[in-house]
Amino acid sequence: MAKNIVIVESPAKAKTIEGYLGKDFIVKSSFGHVRDLAKKGLSIDIDNDFSPTYEISSDKKALVSELKKLVKDADVVWLATDEDREGEAISWHLYEALNLEKKETKRITFNEITKTAILKAIENPRSINQELVNAQQARRVLDRLVGFELSPVLWKKVRPSLSAGRVQSVAVKLIVEKEKEIEQFKVSSFYRVNGNFVAKNGKLKAELSSHLKDEKEVEELLESCKNAQFKVSDMQMKSATKKPSAPFTTSTLQQEASLKLGFSVSRTMTVAQKLYESGIITYMRTDSVNLSETAIEGAKKEVIKSYGVEYSNPTKYKTSSSGAQEAHEAIRPTDFSVHSIDLGRDEDRLYDLIWKRAIASQMSLAELERTTITIDTDKISQHFQAKGEVIKFDGFLRVYIESSIDDEDDDTMEGLLPNVEKGEVLKTDVITATQRFTRPPSRYVEASLVKKLEELGIGRPSTYAPTISTVQKRGYVEKRELDGEERKYMVYELKNSSIQSTTKTEITGKEKNKLFPTDIGIVVTDFLEEHFSKIMDYHFTAEVEEQFDKIAQGLTEWTKMIHDFYNPFHSNVEETLEHSERATGERELGLHPTSGKKIIARIGRFGPMIQIGDEKEDGDKPQFASLRREQSINSITLEEALELFKLPRDLGEYEGAMLKANIGRFGPYIQQGKVFASIPKEEDPMTITYDRAVEILKAKLESDANKVIKTFSEDDTMQLLNGRFGAYLKIGKNNFKLPKGVEPENLTYEECIEISKNQKASGTKARGKKK
């Protein structure tokens, strides 16, 4: 047996490290956390200084037993989990769960998984940093308290099965506020005027110094320009430099990968984790832009070798954030001489981005020459201006150009301009006035939401991706695409002393991968904002993050911080439960044209819905209809609401049963008796034909037939089925995994009963019991 056991979080990391250490070391993975707050109840003793009750996760019990056996025979245990607070907490939980107080235990950390870094860490062990552990423990306890106390308020006052979280609720609020800004925005039009002029040495395009507000102003200006003589009244040339961006932090990597590669935040982190565990990049959860001296020297050698000494500019960047976590490095390659890798398409592209950003940060400034030419005439009060930019020395631009979240709105005209002289008379080719429109604020994409959270001091590198994933999984926010709509605009053109006007069309409001709040997201946010304004306050949420930082630095006791938070929060919860009204987002649309009953849009038990009538007012049972996926209770019209009550549509009989099209809680569907088949999202239940419905039904029946491997005469609720992750056993509403290596078609009824007895069930019935 090896004298040393090294424990890390992931098997990939374990495999890489094991290759660097000798036969005296065995490297094992904990597969993340082995302990967490117990699932049953609150698991926090509020009266005993918020003492948490931890339990070994059910899926980790066998692993912990295996690790205990290995630890028993080892001389030294090395805890080598990640260097941040989460990693420190994992090491502490391993120490507790494996009873390591009886063993020689050493804590080691490293910023990169290279042989040099691992051996250096072995030479410089330390003990577990309890202050870092307490910072993570404080976050976990606080988030459990908020979720445990706030979620039941939502169940009672809004809708069952909802959840709330300290950071997730604030993230949703940002998206809801943005949507309300957009709804309130009033579009106005103006005219942008450009002139194409011809000089002795070439053509140039210039823009009028101010926008025009309407057609009258456009016509007056173009009329004045008919016989005007334009000349160069001023020309300025200025030298300028452009400096590279700092190397990536977690948030800037997430933003740039979104803009350049189209990656979601979670996809970026998954790919970066693989690169880190393969020893190719440094640790990917960091808010530091710092590079080590070794890294700066390595980058310098590579820049000089690949591009020349004039491109080298070793630079040390400093992190501006006061809460930047524990002396981490920025995200960089572990070896700058490796320009590209071959691990997989996603990994290769993300590495290329990281390599270029890091190497560019150590390269020379780009040298530019910016030219501004002013063009005047005595016929109008405004002037035209042409701007150009020439790169004299490309410097870091040879490798990397940073993207901008806002560059979709960039209409500036910059390029190479011809040589002109002051006083030179220019020939007018054409002057064009194009109608443009003010734009509402842009909805967030994942990248811009991360940027906003970081600006507000909400969350830390380890929390951005989980927060954004959580708010989408819980149905408060969704990514949506809008096709946009056609809009007309006017173009006026002055050419050869003649003014022509043309009406053109364009598509406006097209959206892709933008974050939209759902109806339930808006209702929950409004409710929390009204009753828990402190929890929803951006500044307060940022202050809580600062408190975690102080705990990590040993400046604050974690239990005191929880005390200060909890007492007023708990009183707020009790007050709201007792005195607040239910929140449904109810909106009255009008009266039914025939019955005269009130029609309202609101949140119901299963989501957004329309209701006709009120049993208390009318004495009759109300009618209900679910909204379509693209509809909202905040914007649906009376006419659109009435259309929903035309469903279900009877399409005709098929094999002895009526075929119907309808909308339910999971979207539009076809129904024949007890068989339900989803209608594809691009098709409409209001217009779907009988023949198309039959096609969908047949495909569903065929899919279901292929799904069944075996049935049993002894119990008609028992089936062996093909699922998304392989074959499984279903008994009633409960699902059971099959043991490895079994052939499902050969299983007997008795063997299936035995399988069901030896494991916990999952499925709708099991989940219901758990509640």
CA atoms within 13 A on the CB side of 356: 18
**How far, in Å, CA of 528 to CA of 516, rounded?**
18
Asked whether the bond before 648 is cis by omega within 30 degrees of 0, the reply is yes
Return the closest-CA partner of residue 417 out of 163, 607, 739, 196.
196
Has 283 been annotated as catalytic?
A: yes
Residue 155 C-alpha from the chain's centroid: 26
Q: Distances from the Cα of 100 to the Cαs of 20, 70, 90, 561, 720, in angstroms? A: 25, 12, 13, 29, 44
Let me know: does 110 contact 118? Beta carbons within 8 Å.
yes
Give the CA dihedral 533, 537, 539, 541, nearest 10 degrees. Answer: 100
Contacts 24+ apart (CB under 8 A), 745-754: 745/709, 745/710, 745/720, 747/710, 747/720, 749/712, 749/714, 749/715, 749/718, 752/712, 752/718, 752/720
SS3 of 392, please? strand
**How far, in Å, CA of 595 to CA of 150, rounded?**
41
Catalytic residue among 95, 283, 444, 492: 283
Residue 580 C-alpha from the chain's centroid: 32
Cβ contacts of 710 within 8 Å, gap of 6 or more: 719, 720, 744, 745, 747
**How far, in Å, CA of 584 to CA of 606, rounded?**
12
DSSP H or E segment with residue 463: none
Please report the sign of the dihedral spanned by the C-alpha atoms of residue 258, residue 261, residue 262, residue 268. Answer: negative
Q: Which amino acid is at 511?
A: E
Q: Distances from the Cα of 304 to the Cαs of 308, 310, 333, 395, in angstroms? A: 4, 8, 17, 12
Cβ contacts of 642 within 8 Å, gap of 6 or more: 592, 593, 599
Alpha helices for 315-423 (secondary structure H): 345-360
Let me know: does 424 contact 232? Beta carbons within 8 Å.
yes
- Indicate which residues carry an active-site annotation: 283
